[in-house]
Structure 1
């Protein structure tokens, strides 16, 4: 399942993300995302993109309850916490999980 993401370059981003940059890195589909200051970055060609879903996308039939001890990496994202699960991020939203 691919989640459509807007191509949104993060301008004035001098930091170079990579294996030793110090930010939480996690696999996302065919690339690596980095949690940085409450948002998620993706290295894209010669710049860094903000990784934000284009539209609200419910992750249907997701019975697993994410939380502090669920075993999935937790990533601070804006005003909530996303959980990295099977190559994508899950976010709590109105009694269900969204697919980011």
Structure 2
């Protein structure tokens, strides 16, 4: 997990607050709701900030894992399509060769 692992390296509270602010900003929320999140972030004490940050990194790990699994599934589907096309081409070539041999 690339991003989740990177986020776990930040230990200072001001770094954590800045990262959380950036995540909130990137969510494309309504400006009023966004401001409420920013205001609530300012009043979090260190203990709750740490807890929130840990949950955020865990959520990001889950999202990254899900993306990896989806990517693997898409790759498997593409491989199956390629194998199917190759099999059809082989069958076509065999049929063509049989016809050609019988001429």
What TM-score range do you get, normalising by the shorter chain? under 0.3
Larger radius of gyration: 2
Q: Which protein is richer in helix relative to its size?
A: 2
Q: TM-score scaled to structure 2, two decimals?
A: 0.20
Greater RCO (CA < 8 Å, at least 6 residues apart): 2
Q: TM-score scaled to structure 1, two decimals?
A: 0.21
Q: Which protein is richer in strand relative to its size?
A: 1
